[in-house]
Amino acid sequence: MREAVTPDAPYLPKPRILRQDWLNLSFLHWAVDPPSVVHFFPPGTEPDTFEGRTYVGLVPFQMANTGFPHGPALIGTFLETNVRLYSVDRTGRRGVVFLSLDTNRLDVVAAARTAFGLPYRWARMSYQQHNGLHTYESVLRWPGPAAASTVTVRPSTTLIPGPLEHFLTARWGLHVARAGRTWYLPNDHPTWVLRTAELVDFEDHGLLAPIGLGDRPPDHVAFSAGVAARFGLPVRAETPRRAVLR
């Protein structure tokens, strides 16, 4: 049985290993048929679905205050644009699977690829706020084929999240293949405060090419000022989430 989709995070067992602030996020989502993306999922996971469809997400944002659970930040503010899918494992635990995570910090690329096996890539990136517009630009440097993107959104009113918004944003961990096994890296953070957003400009030059979406505009766009997130220890994907007394 699949876990219920809930806007509030389940308890994150100790020890917590990492903290990050995710800021000024734009969420672009495309609905796709699950069979079209199933080959991207690690063993023991499959596409999670909402009303028979699964989703591809493109999420550009700022990352800040990265460090251990206590003490000063180890890395200053940097940028990230990720392409993600929505997963569920055999225990029913929901998560995300990242197809790519592009950032302008080469040290972050090296550390995340080495420690967690995540598909981070080095890119030239910029982020600007002007006259109510948020613009993110990215040009891939390494590794992989050429890829670039531009996203400009205009956030508007507070969005009262419904079942779809919770499905897309209330994901309490990620699945990743590492060392011949599939792992689940749990996280928690406060409930998202979302805003509606108008997509003013979107250019994709290869970033979404593996999915084959072509020039179709996204089916859902939203924005958030951000949340403070924490990560726990990774566990094997076949390990069910255990109830833990707070």
Q: How far apart are CA 131 and CA 231, in angstroms?
A: 35
For the segment 218-238, what is each residue's pLDDT rounded down to a tens digit? 999 999 999 999 999 999 999
Whether residue 192 is contained in a domain is answered as yes
Number of domains in the chain: 1
Instruction: Say what the pLDDT of residue 201 is.
Output: 98
Name which of 101-105, 184-188, 239-243 the model is least confident about: 239-243
Provide Rg for the chain, Cα atoms.
17
* pLDDT band, residue 243 (cuts 50/70/90): low
Q: Which amino acid is at 244?
A: V
Average pLDDT for 134-148 = 96
Whether residue 164 is contained in a domain is answered as yes
Which tokens belong to 159?
Answer: 């969005």
CA angle 62, 117, 76 (to 5 degrees): 30
What is the rounded average pLDDT for all residues in the chain? Answer: 96
Instruction: Say what the pLDDT of residue 242 is.
Output: 73
* pLDDT band, residue 244 (cuts 50/70/90): low
What lies within 8 Å, CB to CB, of 245 at 6+ separation is: none
Whether residue 28 is contained in a domain is answered as yes
For residue 38, the 8-state DSSP code is: G
Whether residue 245 is contained in a domain is answered as no
Q: How far apart are CA 108 and CA 75, in angstroms?
A: 9
Average pLDDT for 201-215 = 93
Residue 246 pLDDT > 50: no
Whether residue 5 is contained in a domain is answered as no
* pLDDT band, residue 53 (cuts 50/70/90): very high
Find the domain containing 90 and state its range: 18-236
Q: How far apart are CA 205 and CA 163, in angstroms?
A: 31
pTM for the whole thing?
0.96
Average pLDDT for 37-48 = 98
Whether residue 241 is contained in a domain is answered as no
Average pLDDT for 157-162 = 97
Average pLDDT for 178-185 = 95
CATH number at residue 176: 2.40.400.10
Whether residue 7 is contained in a domain is answered as no
